Structure 1
Amino acid sequence: MDGGTGGDQRGGPPRDPAGRASAADGARFAFGTLTVLPVRLERWDRPAARAGMLWAPAAGLAVGGAAAATGALLLFAGATPLLAAVATVAVPAVLTRGLHLDGLADTADGLGSGRPAEDALRIMKRSDIGPFGVITLLLTLLAQTAAVSALYGRGGAPGALAVVLAGVTARIALTLACRTGVPAARPDGLGAAVAGAVPVGAAVAVALLGTGAGAAAGAVLGPLGAARHALAVLVALGAAHLLLRHCVRRFGGVTGDVFGALAETAATATLVALTLG
């Protein structure tokens, strides 16, 4: 399986039998491939992939909620905002086995290589991380930690809301990246399994629902909070979309590594956007 997402280790695109996947099938696919939670993947076919990527934001809610709870507990125990932020940023890495970060690094190495698509994809499949990947990882983690620390400095509630929203938005970016018309760069791996699986209308509906939920969550901080949280979601999804377009043009499609890069980009952009203004 490509790097950048966790869970099932089967290769190749899923089967495409007739019929639909249930909500439970979708939830198992999402949590089984996007987290390390002990969820058994019972279906590996196209309908399950479609349903699973529609459930991806729910997996993000779980990851973001765990990260926010960790930070809140540390703040309650008297930790500094910076220390709480470090722990908060570490939780999603643990709950995804660091595969989103690994995907980000591999994608950076592929993009930074300047090689043709086939060579760049080979570079991305290597087990080592090159200089572009190291620099990108370092700057991304620093940006996330600095942003969360600043938000915790404003209070536990703003910080916790931002962390949860970042987790959800990161997975909405994955749902959008799985929409019809976005090709896979390789014939195997999770990228091939989910590429183009989600109808455009359903993907847009998930994005709109997530934006509305972000605004509703931000409303606890006042009308301005609602607007700022909704805008942060839109900014983050816009940043992920730009990266997706570049990767499709550069690699010929998406891979599991690209999905990891999209998730980390959207999460970081959400957090940074909420520190501004």
Structure 2
Amino acid sequence: MKVLLTGATGYIGTAVTEHLTAAGHQVVALTRSTESRPGRGWHARIAGDTADPASLVGAVTPDIEAVIHLAPPSGDADVDTAVIEALATPLRGTGRPFVYTSGVWVLGATGEAQEVGEDTPTNPIDIVGYRPRIEQRVLAEAAEGVRATVVRPGIVYGRGGGIPAILVDRARKQGAPEYYGEEGVRWPTVHVDDLAELFVAAVERAEAGTVWHGVGESAVPVRDLARAAGQVAGVPADPQVLAAGEAAEVFGPLFADALALDQSVSGAAARTALGWRPVRPGAVAELESGSYRAGE
């Protein structure tokens, strides 16, 4: 398939490009400019900006057989809705796939429930407050003849990036590993290359109107991640909690709340229905002996 990919230059988009190409697909990258970027592996690219929905009109040409929308939200619900409209309308009546990237934060804290699934009602924290409405806007395209699906990644790690890289950087700067919220906080996690393979599976096989959790490990204790981050940073000490007020000063209140969010989320449905097989090392193992040590 020829796949239009937004967010193609980003952390996840780079991995998705590689895995789509390896699976025999052609990636058409939507980027803000057409300045040369060698080594990206794109079949082609077109100019457009997801902060400006009008720039996307005409981006989905008749030869585009699928769209994966990876670009981060703008922070404005009306803008993000208009982006969905611009990208999905040309696919109506074709049965072609439209894959939207959300995230597990829309579920909110899962409490005592273990490994909640895709049928769990959303209860978003403030940083993703309107995103469930965008999910529903995407899924409504199924009634218009679009194979519309939503992927909700967990905390993405691997290739030395993602939120775990923040833990390493903070440990190095502060001279001690740290975590946020309560001692028992857990994060659902997924390796960026496993997640990229889920996007390939979704664009190839997911049915219209479906939601998929991109989660390799359902509930990784953040203290364990912080301890491993400290080892990478050369400060192998017991992790210390950063108080809510201090975390808000460092990261801003919305992101600080997200870092303190305790969740246990299942990724079993994608394994069963799509044949997804996350096989990369777990998040703690990746920190201890994988890509985060590359710069040592």
Same fold by TM-score greater than 0.5: no
Which is richer in strand? 2
Which is richer in helix? 1
TM-score after normalising by structure 1: 0.28
TM-score after normalising by structure 2: 0.27
Q: Which has the larger radius of gyration?
A: 2
Higher relative contact order (CA 8 A, sep 6+): 1
